[in-house]
Amino acid sequence: MQLPMPTINETGEFPAPTDRAMTGIFITDLDGTLLRSDRTVAEPVLSGLRRLGELGIARVIATGRSLFSFNTVAAAGLPVDFVIFSTGAGVADYLHGKILRSVSMENGDVRRAFAALHALELDFMVQRPIPDSHVFGYVASNSSNPDFESRIARYSRFAFPWDGDIERFGRATQLVAIVPPDRAQEALASVRRKLVSLSVIQTTSPLDGQSTWIEIFPAGVSKSSTAQWLASKLGASRHKTLSVGNDFNDLDLLEWARTRFVVANAPPELTRRFPVVASNDDGGVAEAIAIWLGQMG
């Protein structure tokens, strides 16, 4: 049986951030990496980003946030060129405020993901296609899940109980199961076994910092696959790339980039695998930029 293919929308015109040839690509995660704990960006980090722009290096933020959520924390005039959002399901031209690419799940994939999560009795959301991926229906299978309830409360204007009518709901950007720490690894392994043909990505909750979010996308959707798409559009070599991250949803991006760092506040599983710079609160991104530029000579 042939599986349904994801819907991919791309704009015809692709802007370059400078008039010069790209000399590299810098990609950083947002929460816990570029942003400090107070959701501001340190001046040394801003200076580093400006320096990259002067050198003709494309500056990219890769976040799990929807574009709507990204815009709630992004400072005006942030010196970046592109935003990879929804863990790679979308790409936006930050300078011109345009969505360049979006990927969505067809009904068949949504149905299979729904069945898997429902069978495991997980609490989950299904998010509408980009640009409305901050709007979601939710299915509550458990009587208590504080992190799940917190996300619903935070997006109360955009959240609604979902009855599982997939035909009426239509395409989706992703499904997100929110799992308490004591069930996380077992649930993650089970979801990956049931949905081997889809992209299943682990993220530490940005809300309580303890629960696990299991994000389900069409096959091939990830930060690294979208970074590769962006690099090809810019005519930039993967060998001239730097990525900086702090969590498990950055893992594939860290493995993809030629040079990679994790900030000191990353989980031990990541700090043991990758070179470490200072924490997000202590200018780790600025340190990574300085090391990379020094290596490039």
Give the pLDDT confidence score for residue 8 in this predicted structure. 75
Query: How confident is the model over 265-278, as pLDDT tens digits?
Result: 999 999 999 999 99
* Cβ 264 vs Cβ 285: under 8 Å: no
Query: How confident is the model over 23-55, as pLDDT tens digits?
Result: 799 999 999 999 999 999 999 999 999 999 999
Q: Chain-wide mean pLDDT for the chain?
A: 93
Locate tokens 């990505």: which residue?
Answer: 201
Least confident of 94-98, 140-144, 226-230: 94-98
Give the pLDDT confidence score for residue 257 in this predicted structure. 97
C-alpha 60/C-alpha 236 separation (Å) is 13
Query: How confident is the model over 106-128, as pLDDT tens digits?
Result: 999 999 999 999 999 999 999 99
The whole-angstrom distance between residue 65's C-alpha and the CA centroid of its chain comes to 6
Tally Cβ neighbours within 10 Å of residue 202.
18
Please report which confidence band the pLDDT of residue 4 belongs to, taking 50, 70 and 90 as the band edges.
very low
Q: Which are the contacts of 88, defined by CB distance < 8 A and separation ≥ 6? A: 62, 103, 217, 221, 222, 223, 224, 225, 226, 227
In total, the chain counts a number of residues equal to 297
Question: What proportion of the chain, given as a percentage, has pLDDT over 90?
Answer: 87
Q: Does residue 131 have a cis bond before it (omega within 30 degrees)?
A: yes
Paired tokens of 125 = 């959301």
Query: How confident is the model over 231-261, as pLDDT tens digits?
Result: 999 988 888 999 999 999 999 999 999 999 9
Give the pLDDT confidence score for residue 196 in this predicted structure. 97
Please report which confidence band the pLDDT of residue 17 belongs to, taking 50, 70 and 90 as the band edges.
low
Tally Cβ neighbours within 10 Å of residue 41.
21
Task: Tell me the C-alpha to C-alpha distance, in Å, between residue 148 and each of 137, 138, 144, 264.
Answer: 12, 9, 9, 27
Give the pLDDT confidence score for residue 2 in this predicted structure. 35
Residue 221: name the closest of 113, 75, 94, 97 by CA. Answer: 113
